[in-house]
Amino acid sequence: MCRLVETLKIEEGRICNLSLHEERLNRSRYERFHCFDRISLESLLILSDEQRSGLWRCRILYDINVHKVEFSRYESKSVHTLQVVYADEVEYQYKYENRSSIDSLFLLRNGKDDILIVKKGYLTDCSTSNVVLECQDGLFTPRDPLLRGTMRASLLQSGRVQERDIRPEELSHFHAMYLINAFRQLGTMKIRIEDIFL
């Protein structure tokens, strides 16, 4: 049984996007393991005094049951350049503990900081982030990402970002790309289009 992971941001004792993480965890348990019960992350995550200060990463390992809850200080990694890689067969619909398919693609980054994965002709995600592209018409995220992240879900719900099919040859129509995940809010990790290598 392939176990799944949920990774949450805890900032100054506040668990960010808690309801979206809980919804994804329970939806994944239902779809992958046919679990009809729900796990409450709020009751599961008991923070120590130390974890109520600063920025923390909480990693939950689960399948039918929760197997492990780990806390660690969050360390940001900068990304400035992206290598486009093509992978029509890659699947990462769920946040799997086993990331070997993504890790093998990451090895193809050709000296760049990260990869931008193209599947069946359309942009999807980077190795640990969803992407948002900016042009004069607004902010857009690929319609079919590999993984539907919680920050992406939040931005779509708020109406700040719209879904769109985007081909790699259309990148020149955009001004910038932003990498987003549980720890990267929109605007905090900006990539220049000229630093995306096809």
Model confidence over 86-143: pLDDT tens digits? 999 999 999 999 999 999 999 999 999 999 999 999 999 999 999 999 999 999 999 9
- Among residues 149, 14, 6, 9, the alpha carbon closest in space to that of 73 is found at 9
pLDDT band with cut points at 50, 70 and 90 for residue 2: confident
Is beta strand 130-135 parallel, antiparallel or unpaired with respect to 176-180? antiparallel
Q: What is the structure's pLDDT at 76? A: 86
pTM, entire model: 0.92
Delimiting residues of CATH 3.30.470.10 domain(s) in the chain: 4-73
Residue 1 pLDDT greater than 90, yes or no: no
Q: What is the pLDDT of residue 58?
A: 97
CATH code for residues 4-73:
3.30.470.10
Buried b (16+ CB within 10 A) or exposed e, 23-59: ebbbebbeebeebeeebebeeebeeeeebeeeebbbe
Lookup: tokens for 53: 């200060």
Domain 82-197 coded CATH 3.20.10.10: yes
**Portion of the chain with pLDDT greater than 90, in percent:** 96
Does pLDDT of 62 surpass 90? yes
Residue range(s) occupied by CATH 3.20.10.10 in the chain: 82-197
